[in-house]
Each structure stands twice: as structure tokens, then as C-alpha cells.
């Protein structure tokens, strides 16, 4: 018997799209074996994202909170995860979401990042030649370095930060096992320690970095944020800025190498570049699954949703819905996929989309202008995470 | 760990379920849904951890829902261990 919702099934990691197609055809809104409601239709996902009254965010935080409380009775202490996640913007609702989001958006007044990104790319690309791993040697370190620059941290810390956030990001995944929770907890402890020291330092030594500006504006607005809250806000901001962009650079470069005519086109014309970014986002949406909780009973595409039901919104499936995009499995920058929902929609719409776009553009340009013959050497390897989709390794060669 | 028969495995899983839920072993029927024993998406995580450690297999939390009774779950573990 084949299961309709089978994200770990054979072949579904590298290519989940046939599963999404089957599911969407039978039921774009589907109550899965775990009771969770899986949404794969474009319109249906968008409806949920935009209906803030019926659906709230925070499904991961609420689950972790219950899990951590349960494990306390088993003498297992995983409370650092809760402390780290406590003010993750994407898990916050209502007034606290509104004021925290405004704090970040207003503090982030310096959008001159081109030179930062360019410098980081130069550093990374000067180290490679011949054969290299486009993910580990380029796509993964770049956004981490950029976020460290923007938030004012010393660049030497980026490897530590990368190692920790690539574990902490699993706090937003589905079906987390106990062993994964333990790893998340260790990363949470390490990052809380790091950001505690760093924020304390910035309170005494403010500069023109984003962290200092957030601290200053929070004071000016009298938000009464504790250090613990600031730590969590900054951890999420840092992680959201890098763990996602890595994947857009990785899968984007991969798809362009598979479609060389389109690669040539964008390198020759700046106008087509923006279309290419949107198609890359639509085709392999890095934030692949998002979650919501129902605040009240309702129906969605004819399916009954009960108060407190959890919903899994398959953004990656919605962006390949044939009702929205004809021939959805074709990578085609000519389709001008403007209305994709890879950055979400509504109140939680990604606040770093501009940065992701700039970074992708500069990264792809520099990469292929420097190595004109860059090509795929072997089948890429995919990451194990469901909620964030991307490549773990992509071996390439600069030789003809 | 040595190869086990399906009935041995069912006994072992039943014992761990009984320990975790504090239900008498006789009440833990292999053909009833996990929910009958009060197991859910929260407390199943620790149960799966114990089973992983006893059996030396990787158990994804979604399996708990894919195989919702001790009997079907045990049968699935046997296929994992043989592959
Ligand atoms: C390709 C890269 C990126 C993708 C695909 C992406 C995608 C998303 C999506 C889908 C959401 C909404 C999630 C939901 O509604 O549940 C989101 C939220 C968010 N993103 Fe991004 N993002 C990217 C890059 C960035 C960058 C560079 C930053 C910069 C710091 C960032 C910061 C955030 C923040 C802070 C939120 C939470 C907003 C809120 O809840 O109000 N993201 N992102």
C-alpha cells in the first residue's frame, strides 16, 4: 500500500514532487496519518497564510514546549531549546509579533550590503579551483559570513555559528526524534551562551551594526525586552538569514547548470535575472514546509478543520501546483513566476527577501563569470530536513 | 542484538509500552491503536528512543503513525532489521 503522505519514502527526499502531485490530485487539503492536515494546493496554502484570524503560527514552539515539559518528568532537561526559541519571530503571534517585527524592520536601516557580499564571495572563490563542493565551499559559508557582517560579529566566529545553527534549525522541522532534540538542545545552549556574551558586549560597545541598532531602538521604544528575549530575537534573525539563502544559492546554481541556455541568457541580460530568482524560488522553495494551528473550527477546501488542529503548508508543493503554473516541473525563467509564495504571504512575509535576492544575484554572477565552464561533476546529495529543502553537497568542476 | 521472532518483538515492544504508560502488561494489547494506551505525538518520542536503543534501529517519529498498533509496528521493525 502506498501512503499518500510519505515524506521519508524511498526517492521522496531527492524528489518529493510526484508525491505532492498524487496528494494534491486526491486532496489538496488532506488529514494525514498523524492527524496533521497537509496542504499542497497553491490557493489553499495561500488562503491559510492570509487568514490570520483562523490560523496562528507557533506550531513548533507549542509542540517543543509540551515535549520539553513531558521530558522534564523523565529527568531530561531540554529547556535551552525553549529559551532559544522563545522569541523566534516566525513563531510569534499578535501584539508581541507586531512590535518585534517592527523593531527589526525599523532598526535595519542600512541596506548597503553589496560590498560586504562581494568581499565575502572574493574570499571564498579565491580559495577554490578545479574541483570543489559548491555547497560546502561556497553556498554554505557565504550567507553565514554576510549575516555575521551585518549583525557585527567577528568573521572568525562564522564556522562556529554555522555548526550550531545547522543543528538549531531542526527545531523548526517536523517529526523530531529524541536524539535530534538532544542535538538541538546542545546547539541552543551554545548559541545562547554566544549571543549572551555578544549582546552584553554590544550594550557596552555599540557600533553601527544591526545588533547594536536593535538594542538601541528597543530601549528608545521602551519595549522592556530582557536580555533573554534579545538573545532569542537575534539567534532567529541570524539563522533565518543564512540557513535559507544557502539553499537558494545551491539549488539555483544547480538548476542553471542543468539549463545552460537559461544561464547564458541571465548572464547577458540583467533584466532576466529577476525572473530567474523567482523561478529558482518557485522551483525549489527553500522554506519547503510552514506550519499553522487552527484557532477555531472551520472548513478548508471541503475538509473539516477543528480548533487546535495543526496544519503543514507545503509551500514547495503549492509552487508546483499545475492549476497555478502550467508544466510546473519545468524550470523556465521565461514564465515570470512573480506570484510564488516562497517567501510566504501576509503578516509573516519574509522580512529578509530583499537580502536573499541581492545575495543570490551577486553570488550567481560572480560564480559563473569567474568560472565560465563550471559544471556538475556528480549527482548532488540532499539534506535530511523536511521543512528547509536544499543540497548538502554538489561537486562541480571548473575545467572543461 | 540477536535476530528475534515477531512474537518476541511484540512482547518486547509491549513491555516497553507498559513501562512507559504504567499500564499493566495484560492491558497492552498488540492490536489496539496506540491512542488506547494514551500514547500520542508527545510521549511517543521518548518511547521510540527507548525502542531505538533496545533494538539498534533508527525509528522515525512518523513511523509511529504509519504503524499504529504494536503488531504492525513490530512487523515493520522486522523488515527494517532484515534490510
Ligand atoms: C531564499 C531565502 C529565504 C527564503 C526562501 C525565506 C522564506 C521565508 C518564509 C516562507 C517565511 C514565512 C514563514 C511562515 O509564514 O511561516 C519567512 C519568514 C522570515 N524570514 Fe525569510 N526567507 C529567506 C531569507 C531570509 C533572510 C536573508 C532573512 C534575513 C534575516 C530572513 C528573515 C526572515 C524572518 C525574520 C522571518 C519571520 C517574519 C515574521 O514572522 O514576521 N529570511 N522567510
pLDDT of res. A99: 98
Tally of structural domains, chain A: 1
The candidate with the shortest Cα–Cα distance to A226, out of A124, A100, A352, A81, is A100
Residue B1 lies in a domain: no
Cβ distance of B60 and A178 shorter than 8 Å: no
Cβ distance of A34 and B52 shorter than 8 Å: no
pLDDT of res. A266: 95
Q: Give tens-digit pLDDT for A92-135.
A: 999 999 999 999 999 999 999 999 999 999 999 999 989 999 99
Q: Alpha-carbon distance A53 to A55, whole Å?
A: 6
- The shortest C-alpha distance from A178 to chain B (Å) reads 6
Burial of A245 (0-12, 13-18, 19+ CB in 10 A): buried
B contacts of A34 (beta carbons < 8 Å): 41, 62, 65
Residue A137 lies in a domain: yes
Residue A150 lies in a domain: yes
Q: Alpha-carbon distance A209 to A151, whole Å?
A: 5
Tally of structural domains, chain B: 1
pTM score, whole prediction: 0.96
What residue ranges of chain A have pLDDT lower than 70? Answer: 1, 400
Contact indicator for A383, A390 with CB cutoff of 8 Å: yes
Residue A292 lies in a domain: yes
Nearest-atom number in ligand 1 for the CA of A101 is 41
Phi then psi dihedrals of residue A132, to 5 deg: -155, 170
| CA distances to B31, B39, B53, B55, B71 from B11, in Å | 12, 18, 16, 13, 10
Residue A8 lies in a domain: no
Cβ distance of B61 and A176 shorter than 8 Å: yes
Residues 6+ apart with CB under 8 A from A253: A134, A139, A363, A364, A367, A394
Residue B35 lies in a domain: yes
Residue A5 lies in a domain: no
Terminal CA-to-CA distance of chain A, rounded, Å? 46
pLDDT of res. A281: 98
Number of DSSP helices (H) and strands (E) in chain B, helices first: 4, 0
Q: Is the pLDDT of residue B81 over 80?
A: no
Residue B48 lies in a domain: yes
| Nearest beta carbon to residue A8 from set B52, B62, B68 | B62
For cell 545547522, name the residue.
A166
Domain of residue B78, residue span: 6-82
A142 grid coordinates: 557565504
Q: Alpha-carbon distance A217 to A215, whole Å?
A: 6
Task: State the complex-level ipTM.
Answer: 0.95
CATH code at position A90 = 1.10.630.10
A contacts of B61 (beta carbons < 8 Å): 175-177
Residue A12 lies in a domain: no
- The shortest C-alpha distance from A260 to chain B (Å) reads 39
The candidate with the shortest Cα–Cα distance to A152, out of A96, A207, A87, is A207
Pocket probe for ligand 1: among A238, A287, A337, the residue whose CB has the most ligand atoms within 8 Å is A287
| CA distances to A143, A238, A262, A342, A388 from A252, in Å | 15, 22, 12, 13, 15
pLDDT of res. A399: 84
Burial of A376 (0-12, 13-18, 19+ CB in 10 A): middle
Residues 6+ apart with CB under 8 A from A155: A145, A148, A149
Nearest-atom number in ligand 1 for the CA of A355 is 27
A243 grid coordinates: 540557513
pLDDT of res. A270: 87
Phi then psi dihedrals of residue A314, to 5 deg: -85, 85
Residue A10 lies in a domain: no
| Nearest beta carbon to residue A177 from set B41, B42, B60 | B60
Nearest-atom number in ligand 1 for the CA of A247 is 1
pLDDT of res. B2: 57
Residue A349 lies in a domain: yes
* Chain B contact for A7 (CB, 8 A cutoff): yes
* Chain B contact for A38 (CB, 8 A cutoff): no
pLDDT of res. B61: 96
CATH code at position B26 = 1.10.1200.10
Domain of residue A234, residue span: 17-397
pLDDT of res. A88: 98
Q: Give tens-digit pLDDT for B5-48.
A: 899 999 999 999 999 999 999 999 999 999 999 999 999 999 99
The candidate with the shortest Cα–Cα distance to A171, out of A316, A63, A73, is A63
CB < 8 Å from A in window 1-40 of B: none
Pairing of strands A395-397, A375-376: antiparallel
Amino acid at each position: 500500500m502506498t501512503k499518500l503522505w510519505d515524506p521519508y519514502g524511498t526517492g521522496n527526499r531527492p524528489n518529493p514532487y510526484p508525491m505532492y502531485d498524487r496528494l494534491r490530485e486526491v486532496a489538496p487539503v488532506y488529514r494525514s496519518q498523524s492527524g496533521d492536515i497537509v496542504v499542497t494546493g497553491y490557493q489553499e496554502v495561500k488562503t491559510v497564510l492570509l487568514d490570520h484570524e483562523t490560523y496562528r503560527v507557533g506550531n513548533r514552539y507549542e509542540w517543543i514546549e509540551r515535549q520539553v515539559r513531558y521530558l522534564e518528568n523523565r529527568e531530561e532537561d531540554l529547556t535551552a531549546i525553549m529559551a532559544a526559541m522563545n522569541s523566534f519571530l516566525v513563531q510569534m503571534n499578535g501584539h508581541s509579533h507586531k512590535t518585534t517585527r517592527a523593531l527589526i524592520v525599523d532598526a535595519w536601516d542600512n541596506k548597503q550590503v553589496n560590498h560586504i557580499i562581494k568581499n565575502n564571495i572574493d574570499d571564498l572563490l579565491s580559495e577554490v579551483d578545479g574541483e570543489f563542493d559548491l555547497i560546502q565551499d561556497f553556498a554554505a559559508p557565504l550567507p553565514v559570513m554576510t549575516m555575521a557582517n551585518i549583525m557585527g560579529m567577528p568573521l572568525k566566529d562564522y564556522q562556529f555559528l554555522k555548526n550550531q545553527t545547522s543543528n538549531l534549525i531542526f527545531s523548526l522541522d517536523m517529526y523530531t526524534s529524541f536524539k535530534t532534540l538532544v542535538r538541538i538542545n546542545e546547539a541552543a545552549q551554545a548559541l545562547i551562551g554566544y549571543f549572551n556574551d555578544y549582546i552584553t558586549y554590544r550594550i557596552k560597545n555599540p557600533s553601527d551594526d544591526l545588533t547594536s541598532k536593535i538594542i538601541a531602538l528597543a530601549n528608545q521604544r521602551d519595549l522592556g525586552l530582557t536580555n533573554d528575549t534579545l538573545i532569542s530575537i537575534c539567534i532567529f534573525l541570524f539563522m533565518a538569514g543564512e540557513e535559507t539563502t544557502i539553499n537558494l544559492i545551491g539549488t539555483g546554481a544547480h538548476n542553471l547548470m542543468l539549463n545552460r541556455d537559461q544561464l547564458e541568457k541571465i548572464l547577458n541580460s540583467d533584466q532576466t535575472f529577476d525572473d530567474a530568482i523567482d523561478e529558482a524560488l518557485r522551483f525549489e522553495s527553500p522554506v519547503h514546509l510552514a506550519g499553522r494551528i487552527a484557532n477555531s473550527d472551520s472548513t478548508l477546501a471541503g475538509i473539516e478543520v477543528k480548533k487546535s488542529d495543526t496544519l503543514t503548508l507545503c509551500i514547495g508543493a503549492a509552487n508546483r501546483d499545475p492549476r497555478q503554473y502550467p508544466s510546473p516541473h519545468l524550470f523556465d525563467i521565461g514564465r515570470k513566476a512573480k506570484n510564488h509564495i516562497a517567501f510566504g504571504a501576509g503578516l509573516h512575509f519574509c522580512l529578509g527577501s530583499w537580502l536573499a535576492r541581492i545575495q543570490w544575484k551577486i553570488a550567481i554572477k560572480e560564480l559563473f563569470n569567474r568560472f565560465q565552464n563550471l559544471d556538475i561533476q556528480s549527482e548532488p546529495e540532499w539534506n535530511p530536513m523536511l521543512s528547509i529543502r536544499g543540497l548538502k553537497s554538489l561537486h562541480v568542476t571548473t575545467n572543461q | 542484538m540477536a535476530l528475534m521472532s515477531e512474537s518476541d518483538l511484540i512482547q518486547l515492544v509491549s513491555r516497553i509500552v507498559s513501562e512507559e504508560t504504567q499500564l499493566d502488561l495484560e492491558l497492552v494489547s498488540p492490536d489496539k491503536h496506540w491512542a488506547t494506551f494514551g500514547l500520542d505525538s508527545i510521549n511517543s518520542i521518548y518511547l521510540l528512543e527507548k525502542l531505538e536503543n533496545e533494538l539498534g534501529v533508527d525509528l522515525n517519529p512518523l513511523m509511529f503513525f504509519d504503524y499504529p498498533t504494536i503488531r504492525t509496528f513490530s512487523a515493520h521493525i522486522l523488515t527494517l532489521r532484515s534490510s
